[in-house]
Amino acid sequence: LVNSNVSVVIIGAGPAGLTLALQLNKAGIDCIVLEKHTRQYIETRTRAGVIEQNSLDVFEKLGVADRMKREGLRHNGIYLSFEGVRHHIDFGKYLNDKAITIYGQQEVIKDLVHACLDRNVALEFEASVTGILDIDGATLKVFFERDGVSQAMNCNFVAGCDGFHGVSRSAAPISTCHVYEKEYPFNWLGILADVPPSSPELIYAFHKNGFALHSMRSPSISRFYLQVADNEDLSNWSDQRIWEELALRLQAENFQLKIGFIKDKSLTPVRSFMIDHMQFGNLFLAGDAAHIVPPTGGKGLNLAVADAVTLYQGLFDYFHKGIKSTLLSYSSRRLASVWRVQEFSDFMTNLFHLSSPIDSFEHRLQKARFTYITTSEAASKSIAENYVGI
């Protein structure tokens, strides 16, 4: 067992952990990032790809946004579609120069990992955290395993940035908290295809067969999602069936779906998860470790980055000014914003997914909501404001 000391141990090299590490490093606060997977694994795993203006600003301040700004696709709007009727939400019209950047999460990870290594941030791959001891006391310790060897680190604070299935949440006294969960009765089937986008901007579509989303990664790579049953088996979805279903669900006047080689197919669960605390003594949860939003608003990565910024502010005040109150208010400052995003993500999910029969009361409500959005500037503006990020 090797013992050493560091101010902050960060568990997990996702957007939350890496953003926090780069901020602490810039402020001269020592930290170590422990990541259980290999660098190759985290840099190639296909995830979401919507970067809000706020997140881009954070990355820019950290000096890691050059490639994102060069290669990312800047979008000034999105399309909403309901049973073949398209409505454009123009961000620029309502929010001046605010926009979103389409750039895969694994590309973000590559840029952040590169910056960490370049700046000598301690970043350990294949270091799997197994436990956290004494979150309330003076002998806070993180246990991890590397190359089959058990090691421990002493630290002042632990940032649990290890995603929904990580270990840090289980070190917290969750039984004393209020946990809020919502399971949606469907999954997303996501594909990545070698084909130019068929639309200049994202399309969120409701169809009587279920939801479809057209996204993209570059001028030659497209990303699509289809609502499927929650017990769905990928083997039921041949490439041909996927393209047929996408063409059907995204159908609109003057729209032609381009098809190409599917190079990645996966299922994403659709669920919400919240706890009423994000800090437990000297353990702080950030990103997916603390909350999950349904993917319909493209918000997961952005919440992770926003958590990291607020947590960093607390740690900065503690280490550089000797003030602990900022850190102590981390949870309350984040929870209000996360709930706002939960509400928007739930709204988008309910608006576009099929969960009741066609012509049921619920379906007519969805239709009425969509009609309101297409006819009301206020409703369109509200969507623009939430989508770009409050």
3-state SS, 107-137, equals: HHHHHHHHHHHHCCCEEECCEEEEEEECCCC
User: Among 309, 57, 7, 307, which residue's Cα sits nearest to residue 163?
Assistant: 307
- Return the exposure string of 6-21: e unless at least 16 CB atoms fall within 10 Å of the residue's CB, then b: bebbbbbbbbbbbbbb
Shorter beta-carbon distance to ligand PHB: residue 298 or 314: 298
Q: Is residue 14 close enough to count as binding ligand APR by CB under 6 A?
A: yes
Map residue 241 onto helix, strand or coil. helix
Residue choice 287, 298, 314, 389 for contact with ligand PHB (CB under 6 A): 298
- How big is the site for ligand PHB, counted in residues (CB under 6 A)? 11
Picked from ligand PHB, ligand APR, none, the partner binding residue 298 (CB below 5 to 8 A depending on kind) is: ligand PHB
Q: Is residue 37 close enough to count as binding ligand APR by CB under 6 A?
A: yes
User: Among 297, 222, 213, 219, which residue's Cα sits nearest to residue 260?
Assistant: 222
Residue choice 295, 304, 344, 373 for contact with ligand PHB (CB under 6 A): 295
Cβ 105 to ligand PHB, closest distance in Å? 8
Q: Is residue 72 close enough to count as binding ligand PHB by CB under 6 A?
A: no
User: Among 128, 159, 142, 171, which residue's Cα sits nearest to residue 304?
Assistant: 159
Q: Is residue 52 close enough to count as binding ligand APR by CB under 6 A?
A: no
- Distance, in Å, from the CA atom of 328 to the CA atom of 248, rounded to the nearest integer, reads 51
Cβ 344 to ligand PHB, closest distance in Å? 11
Contact 227, 186 (CB under 8 A): yes
Map residue 357 onto helix, strand or coil. coil
Picked from ligand APR, ligand PHB, none, the partner binding residue 300 (CB below 5 to 8 A depending on kind) is: ligand APR
Residue choice 10, 18, 24, 48 for contact with ligand PHB (CB under 6 A): 48
Map residue 139 onto helix, strand or coil. coil
Cβ 161 to ligand APR, closest distance in Å? 5
x-or-dash string of contact with ligand APR, 241-280, rule CB under 6 A: ----------------------------------------
| Helical segments of the chain, H only | 15-26, 39-44, 53-61, 66-71, 91-95, 105-118, 239-250, 300-316, 325-328, 330-352, 361-375, 377-388
Shorter beta-carbon distance to ligand PHB: residue 34 or 384: 384
Show contacts with ligand APR in window 154-193 (CB under 6 A).
161-163, 166-167
Which span sits near ligand PHB by CB under 6 A: 48-56, 65-73, 147-155, 254-262?
Answer: 48-56
Residue choice 36, 223, 249, 291 for contact with ligand PHB (CB under 6 A): 223
Give me the amino acid identity at 1.
L
For residue 102, what are its two tokens? 């389409």
- Distance, in Å, from the CA atom of 64 to the CA atom of 28, rounded to the nearest integer, reads 18
Q: Is residue 297 close enough to count as binding ligand APR by CB under 6 A?
A: no
Give me the amino acid identity at 227.
Q
Which residues are tagged catalytic?
75, 204, 295, 299, 387
Picked from ligand PHB, ligand APR, none, the partner binding residue 72 (CB below 5 to 8 A depending on kind) is: none
Shorter beta-carbon distance to ligand APR: residue 62 or 289: 289
Q: Identify the bridge partners of residue 89 per DSSP, sorted by sequence position.
A: 78
**Contact footprint for ligand APR (CB under 6 A):** 11-17, 34-37, 42, 47-48, 105, 128-129, 161-163, 166-167, 287-289, 300-301, 304
Residues that bind ligand PHB (CB under 6 A): 48-50, 202, 213, 215, 223, 295-298
